[in-house]
Chain A
Amino acid sequence: MIHLMIFLPLLGSLLLLATPKRWREEVAGFVAALTLGLGLLIWRGGGAELFSVNWVPALGVTYSVALDGVSLTLALVTAFMSFIAVLYAARRVENPGTMLSLVLAMETGLLGIFAARDLVLFYVFFEDALLPALLMLAIYGKPNRMRALVKFAAYTLFGSLLMLLSIIGVKYYGGSPTFALADLVQYPVRGASQTWLYLGFLAAMAVKLPLWPLHAWLPDFHEQNHDSGVPDVMGTLYKVGGYGLFQFALPLFPDASLELRPILMGLAAFTALYAAWIAFRQTDWKRLLAYAGLSHMGFVALGVFSLNETATIGAMYLLAFQNVYTGALFLAVGMLQERVGSVHTRVGGVMTQAGALGGMTLALWFASIAVPGLAGFVGEFSVLLGAYQVQPWLTFVAGLSTIAAAAYALTAFQTTFWQGRPLGGVRVADLRHTEWLVLGLPLAVALFFGVYSAPALNLIQPAVRGVLAALGGS
């Protein structure tokens, strides 16, 4: 079942190419829903056990996949948000065949990233998710996309090629027979080489997280993407850095993680505050959201780097649900753009005519700035709580960004949705048809997991405990 879940979207994506134009949206929606359904079935069955076969025996590369704990949570969120993205793209994008195809192809890459338990396989999926993202930007992007594209790809490849060297190094210096995570953990690398390999691995993850100073691709990527926000949703899902660090870096480089902890936590805290500060000055909704996401990712990084149980659980929780509400916010921006023809934050007075859109957006922003009762709060609070026990001052600095978040979010919301309606502004329609679902479902999820976090925590907690216990506790 797990293989079906991973590769079904890709099959669907290829199938779309052969589907007649008028049925494409239905087929894509069906495939995305089916993938989500499969994910829920796997979850009901208590996760998918490790499945491992040799892929390239001569190189020791295996095809090892599993979905449990953190990875299952993230896979479910991915499947859910891909479904939402398909739902919205089908209605919003003109002639959406190619876009839907790319969304589904990317979903396979993302699910693969979360399921992979072999470093080379992880790398392969890691890069595979990149291709559709690039194509989406190339085909549907705005005029300045070439710069954004090159920046995005160059940063990503810079990181991932260093990671590839680290991957080779981990196997070679550790003497493991295969690249499967289970084998690599058995044959750890010790000493200074572990630190160097960790740095190589970190390079890729820091780009993806992203972590200052490797974040510069992010705002351009989001700004230049299609107005509908669909590629942005997939882009938010692509922030797998925190997961990669948790799933691979911590078990493989325990000593190095401990050694570099203060520096990395400092970088993470700085990223959170710095991004929140920059976000405050943005006048483009997409850039604003990009920097807000960057700030949240600083939190995720803070949690993971702290090697503290509470904080790591919080980080994973935040990572999972940040995708939901930030993704939905990107779609809300897409809806705003459709109505007023701009993504500027000083539109003014939209609320008077599109009350539901404004209300939903505000509620999603509340989730994003960690208002209690919504999913963002559980994650951010746990991160702060846990990280405080390790580095109180750095955590204090990072904590300031929650205040900044309220400031930038509410200011931008106020100038767009309230304030005076400019004279001669077009009449703005409210939510229609599937748009209710597109914003409503993520909001419901954010609300549900903000109030009742047990289902997600039950998945995340044992996995985090397992990883940290292998480190010898913190």
Chain B
Amino acid sequence: MLTVPEVHLAPMLPILIVLAGALASTVLGFYLPRRALTIINLVLLVLSGVSMGTLWNSGATAFGGSLQADNAAILLGLTILIGSAMTLLVSLDTAYRARVSFPEFDAMLMYAITGTLLIAFSGDLITLLIGLEVMSLSGYVLATLQESRPAEESGLKYFLLGAAGSAILIYGIAFVYGATGSLNYAEIAARTAGLTPGNLGVLVGGALLMLAGFAFKVALAPFHQWTPDVYSGAPTSVSLFLSTVVKVAAFAGMLRVFGGALQNAPGWAAVLQILIAVTLIVGNAAALFQTNFKRMLAYSAVAHTGFLALTLLGTPGVGGAALAYYLLIYTLMTAAALAIVAALQRSERGMEISDLRGLYYRHPAYAVALAACLASLAGLPPFAGFFGKYLAFQAALQSGYVWLSVLAALASVAALVYYLRPAMLMFMPDRTPAREYAHGERTATTFTVALGIIGVTVLGILPNLWYGWVANPAIWGTLAGR
């Protein structure tokens, strides 16, 4: 006889609301202008956030633990929603100029967000994989959506490398399943303790394959090569989405897997620290030599991946909290910086760094905001980037990775140089004609930038507003479920 599986709707609600937005965009696109759809989607994102709020501390699960709305999921999910909302707001102004202003753009974006939320809420490897694929497939389309050579090239590159990454990840999942006989995070974590040496070898192999797969997704060197081309080739609002929301989700997945399921598995941490070291060196060194501002931000995203990944080396209590704090800050500052680029660029190639000269005298508010973003990205107080970096250093240092922390500190110096140059150029007087798009300042973009700057400043002066929520070690102790 057929038995109906138990399905709890509540923990799925935040994801379903976003999915509804995606479906609505697909269907209503025939009847409504895109602007209306975007606004509907924004409202749905807010609703999704509210439904997440009601799940706080409930620890609800669905599908026998395959989907779990624990506090960790909610904190990461909120970060995802904030980044997504910022993307939508920016696209309100710039999608038309970027020639991606059609309902499919919104639909794809909402599908991608659904995928990212699935990753954050995942309770086993299959859910994770489904989320990852939904996110990635939508991402490939988003990167190619614009009708231009760079966009096509970047989309293809993203697709080919992303597919390879996914394949490696799936292979890793198979290995982990082979070693432990389970796909559920909690089960895996429980079974890693008493494995036979043979199985342990398989587990280590699986963990390393999964690490490589995730390294593709978050752009850890040497798996980062697609990033600069994709981020700079895609329309700027898409770059914004890919470099914030997608990265947050991929890190959420890494946190679930390496901070939870494979927490006690040997081997991966040693490899990860080498990947981080390479990422810090490659990302920061390459960013130093960029002349295009958007491309520089792409490399800066790679460099930040290194800092973000430092937190994974910490114990889940310290590292998870640091990661959750840093991800929100990273989203706010990167999104604000790219929003300004999106508003001021003349073409989707972004701006040359030298074009920024004298921006302060042409668009004073944007220039000050961009300077604040860059200062925050560089980790200068009183902006929140400082506390993010601080927490990352702390997580790594307290787990005994002293040399890596010192390397990260030295890499930050290089980072400062490339963030500083555009920031200071903006304030230098300039007599040549303006090189920005003349009608750049629009309400929605300005609102996004203001949101980012206010967030970064307030959270920098009063970090406790967010860190107070994420700091509770109990949240991160149960990453793998109960």
| A and B: bona fide binding partners | yes
Instruction: Choose among B412, B424, B464 the residue that contacts A134 (Cβ–Cβ < 8 A).
Output: B424
**CB pair B382 A154 closer than 8 Å:** no
Given A56-B464, A158-B413, A161-B413, A138:B427 Cβ within 8 A? yes
Q: Specify which chain B residues have a CB less than 8 angstroms from the CB of A56 in the assembled complex.
A: 387, 463-464, 467
Q: How far is the CA of A55 from the CA of B375 in the complex (A)?
A: 22
Is A139 at the interface (CB under 8 A from chain B)? Answer: yes
Contact with A along B460-479 (1 / 0, CB 8 A): 00011001100100000000
CB distance from B89 to the nearest CB of A (A): 27
CB distance from A399 to the nearest CB of B (A): 36
Is B398 at the interface (CB under 8 A from chain A)? Answer: yes
Q: Specify which chain B residues have a CB less than 8 angstroms from the CB of A11 in the assembled complex.
A: none
**CB pair A150 B417 closer than 8 Å:** yes
**CB pair B409 A127 closer than 8 Å:** no
Instruction: Choose among B380, B406, B467 the residue that contacts A162 (Cβ–Cβ < 8 A).
Output: B406
Is A185 at the interface (CB under 8 A from chain B)? Answer: no
Q: How far is the CA of A398 from the CA of B230 in the complex (A)?
A: 58
Given A58-B468, A134-B424, A146-B421, A164:B393 Cβ within 8 A? yes
Q: Specify which chain B residues have a CB less than 8 angstroms from the CB of A128 in the assembled complex.
A: 381-382
Instruction: Choose among A146, A149, A150, A158 the residue that contacts B410 (Cβ–Cβ < 8 A).
Output: A158
Q: Specify which chain A residues have a CB less than 8 angstroms from the CB of B130 in the assembled complex.
A: none
CB distance from B316 to the nearest CB of A (A): 15
Contact with B along A235-257 (1 / 0, CB 8 A): 00000000000000000000000
Contact with A along B416-430 (1 / 0, CB 8 A): 110011001101110
Q: Specify which chain A residues have a CB less than 8 angstroms from the CB of B321 in the assembled complex.
A: 58
**CB pair B413 A58 closer than 8 Å:** no
- CB under 8 Å from chain B, chain A span 93-135: 120, 123-124, 127-128, 130-131, 134-135
Q: How far is the CA of A451 from the CA of B368 in the complex (A)?
A: 48
CB distance from A216 to the nearest CB of B (A): 14
**CB pair A153 B417 closer than 8 Å:** yes
Q: How far is the CA of A56 from the CA of B386 in the complex (A)?
A: 13
Instruction: Choose among A55, A135, A161 the residue that contacts B409 (Cβ–Cβ < 8 A).
Output: A161
Is B390 at the interface (CB under 8 A from chain A)? Answer: yes
- CB under 8 Å from chain B, chain A span 159-182: 161-162, 164-165, 168-169, 172
Is B184 at the interface (CB under 8 A from chain A)? Answer: no
Contact with A along B372-388 (1 / 0, CB 8 A): 00010011111000110
**CB pair B421 A124 closer than 8 Å:** no
CB distance from B218 to the nearest CB of A (A): 23
Is B394 at the interface (CB under 8 A from chain A)? Answer: yes
Q: How far is the CA of A440 from the CA of B406 in the complex (A)?
A: 48
**CB pair A150 B421 closer than 8 Å:** yes
Instruction: Choose among B380, B424, B464 the residue that contacts A127 (Cβ–Cβ < 8 A).
Output: B380
Question: By CB atoms of chain B within 10 A, which of A137, A145, A154 has the most?
Answer: A154
Q: Specify which chain B residues have a CB less than 8 angstroms from the CB of A149 in the assembled complex.
A: 420, 424
**CB pair A157 B406 closer than 8 Å:** no
Q: How far is the CA of A402 from the CA of B391 in the complex (A)?
A: 46
Q: Specify which chain B residues have a CB less than 8 angstroms from the CB of A1 in the assembled complex.
A: none
Q: Specify which chain A residues have a CB less than 8 angstroms from the CB of B467 in the assembled complex.
A: 56, 58-59
Is A57 at the interface (CB under 8 A from chain B)? Answer: yes
**CB pair B405 A165 closer than 8 Å:** yes
**CB pair B464 A154 closer than 8 Å:** no
Q: How far is the CA of A453 from the CA of B153 in the complex (A)?
A: 73
Q: Specify which chain A residues have a CB less than 8 angstroms from the CB of B416 in the assembled complex.
A: 153-154, 157
Judged by DSSP, the binding face of B is helix
Q: How far is the CA of A124 from the CA of B420 in the complex (A)?
A: 18
Instruction: Choose among A58, A123, A146, A158 the residue that contacts B424 (Cβ–Cβ < 8 A).
Output: A146
Instruction: Choose among B391, B413, B421 the residue that contacts A157 (Cβ–Cβ < 8 A).
Output: B413
Q: How far is the CA of A329 from the CA of B468 in the complex (A)?
A: 49
Q: How far is the CA of A88 from the CA of B148 in the complex (A)?
A: 56
Q: Specify which chain B residues have a CB less than 8 angstroms from the CB of A131 in the assembled complex.
A: 375, 380
Instruction: Choose among B406, B409, B427 the residue that contacts A139 (Cβ–Cβ < 8 A).
Output: B427
Q: Specify which chain B residues have a CB less than 8 angstroms from the CB of A150 in the assembled complex.
A: 417, 420-421
Q: Specify which chain A residues have a CB less than 8 angstroms from the CB of B378 in the assembled complex.
A: 157
Q: Specify which chain A residues have a CB less than 8 angstroms from the CB of B387 in the assembled complex.
A: 56
Q: Specify which chain A residues have a CB less than 8 angstroms from the CB of B391 in the assembled complex.
A: 59
Instruction: Choose among A58, A123, A157 the residue that contacts B471 (Cβ–Cβ < 8 A).
Output: A58
Q: Specify which chain B residues have a CB less than 8 angstroms from the CB of A145 in the assembled complex.
A: 428
Q: How far is the CA of A123 from the CA of B386 in the complex (A)?
A: 10
- CB under 8 Å from chain A, chain B span 309-327: 321
Q: Specify which chain A residues have a CB less than 8 angstroms from the CB of B394 in the assembled complex.
A: 59, 168, 172
Q: Specify which chain B residues have a CB less than 8 angstroms from the CB of A168 in the assembled complex.
A: 390, 393-394, 397-398
CB distance from A149 to the nearest CB of B (A): 6
Q: Specify which chain B residues have a CB less than 8 angstroms from the CB of A153 in the assembled complex.
A: 416-417, 420
Instruction: Name the CB-closest residue of B to A135.
Output: B427
Question: By CB atoms of chain A within 10 A, which of B397, B413, B421 has the most?
Answer: B413
**CB pair A138 B428 closer than 8 Å:** yes
Q: Specify which chain A residues have a CB less than 8 angstroms from the CB of B429 in the assembled complex.
A: 139
Q: How far is the CA of A56 from the CA of B390 in the complex (A)?
A: 13
CB distance from A429 to the nearest CB of B (A): 28
CB distance from B39 to the nearest CB of A (A): 34
**CB pair A154 B413 closer than 8 Å:** yes
Given A58-B464, A58-B468, A157-B416, A164:B409 Cβ within 8 A? yes
Q: Specify which chain B residues have a CB less than 8 angstroms from the CB of A135 in the assembled complex.
A: 424, 427
**CB pair A162 B424 closer than 8 Å:** no
**CB pair A165 B380 closer than 8 Å:** no
Given A59-B467, A123-B381, A161-B412, A139:B386 Cβ within 8 A? no
Instruction: Name the CB-closest residue of A to B473.
Output: A58
What are 30 A-B interface contacts by the 8 Å CB criterion? A58-B321, A58-B467, A58-B468, A59-B391, A59-B471, A120-B390, A127-B380, A128-B382, A130-B380, A135-B424, A137-B424, A138-B425, A138-B427, A138-B428, A139-B427, A139-B428, A139-B429, A146-B424, A150-B420, A150-B421, A157-B378, A158-B413, A161-B409, A161-B412, A162-B406, A164-B393, A165-B405, A168-B390, A168-B398, A172-B398
Give the interface of B toward A (CB within 8 A). 321, 375, 378-382, 386-387, 390-391, 393-394, 397-398, 405-406, 409-410, 412-413, 416-417, 420-421, 424-425, 427-429, 463-464, 467-468, 471
By Cβ-Cβ distance, the 8 closest A-B pairs, closest first, are: A58-B471, A161-B409, A138-B424, A124-B381, A138-B427, A157-B416, A158-B413, A139-B427
